[in-house]
Amino acid sequence: MVLWVCRAGRYGEYENYFLEKGIVAITWHNLTADLTKCKTRDDVKEVLSQIYPDEKKNTISNNAGQLFAFVQTMNTGEKVLLPSKINPGTLYIGTIDSDCSFSGELPYSHIRKVKWSKKTVNRADLDQDICYSLGSLLTIFSIDDDKASRILNSEKTKTIPQEDSDLGISRNLENDALDQISSTIIQKFKGYDMQLVIASIFKAKGYQVYVSKGADKGIDVLASNGPLGFGGTKICIQVKTDDKPIERAILTELKGTMQNVKADYGLLVSWSGFKTSMDAEMRDSFFSIKFWDHGDIVREFLENYEKLDDWIKVKVPLKRIWVIDDQLEAE
């Protein structure tokens, strides 16, 4: 039984697109070459060396192995697992439904169609050794037969936890930490509390802010970097923590609110991201409205953590740690 794991970006930025379009894809930056013409892993390494001439040999080799697996090793009918970043702890299961095709369009340069199941798996229900495997540094990799069977059959029998070194797995501790932080943020800050978090982030950036205290004509947060909020750059912000990607109607509402309050710019914040049907409008709004999904929220949260309101840091207490850079260590 073959089970592949494919991630949808470091922050899950491609997750909604994968699920809505029924695909998994290679999303490496600047990968415009057609890898379906590569018959061996060495062929892929040669192509990558030309595209990324400054990349380290170890990184090229590592990426070539993952990309060759996606392009040539995967087979129609095999299962694929997508760990969710938007809903931490949720694992989507699908069946590969096509050979790899080259689209030539970034970021989804190489695509395989997938039939996603309505059934999901809860990571918390899995054995510890499986969780260690899912914490791999790799973006594309396969799970061994025994673990794949236990995941797909949702077996409840627990195995004795083992140390990482016994499993032969290189875990991505940074990725594990980001998952835990992301999960904690959305658990602690829903609805109005998320508005306060976004307001605190802007205060940390030097803005004066106004936070709506209820239904306020579509206004969630107003921000200005002028003295006392006068003048400067005026930003109107809407914040959504719904469980599903938001649709065009919310963007239309924000545009109307921006006009009402005479804002220079808008920011639409949606923890669960945005429907792919909004892609054209997001492109057309590039110079006037920005869009944050959960990845942007987590990144801004961490970058401004030291200056956030104390009550926020009490709810999400963080500390800095040092870890070995696995890729540098492997050189």
Q: CB neighbours (10 Å) of residue 67? A: 25
**DSSP string of 248-281, one letter each residue:** HHHHHHHHHHHHHHT-SEEEEEETT-B-GGGHHH
Per-residue pLDDT band for 159 (boundaries 50, 70, 90) equals: very low
Please say if the pLDDT value at position 320 is more than 90: no
What's the one-letter identity of residue 174?
Answer: E
pLDDT tens, 267-290?
999 999 999 889 899 999 999 999
Q: CB neighbours (10 Å) of residue 171? A: 17
Please say if the pLDDT value at position 156 is more than 70: no
The token duo for 233 is: 């750059």
**C-alpha to C-alpha distance for 183 and 25, rounded to whole angstroms:** 25
Architecture of the domain spanning 187-315? 3-Layer(aba) Sandwich (3.40)
Query: What is the average per-residue pLDDT within 206-226?
Result: 87
Backbone angles phi, psi at 23, to 5 degrees: -145, 170
Query: What is the average per-residue pLDDT within 256-260?
Result: 94
CA atoms within 13 A on the CB side of 191: 4
CATH number of 3-171: 3.10.590
Share above pLDDT 90 across residues of the chain, in percent, rounded to a whole number: 64
pLDDT tens, 11-43?
888 999 999 999 999 999 999 999 999 999 999
Enter the pTM of the model: 0.71
Q: Which of 98-107, 131-140, 190-199, 288-297 has the lowest mean pLDDT?
A: 131-140
Q: Count H helices and E strands in the chain, helices first.
A: 13, 12
CATH 3.40.1350.10 location in the chain: 187-315
Residues 6+ apart with CB under 8 A from 290: 265, 266, 267, 268
What's the one-letter identity of residue 143?
Answer: I
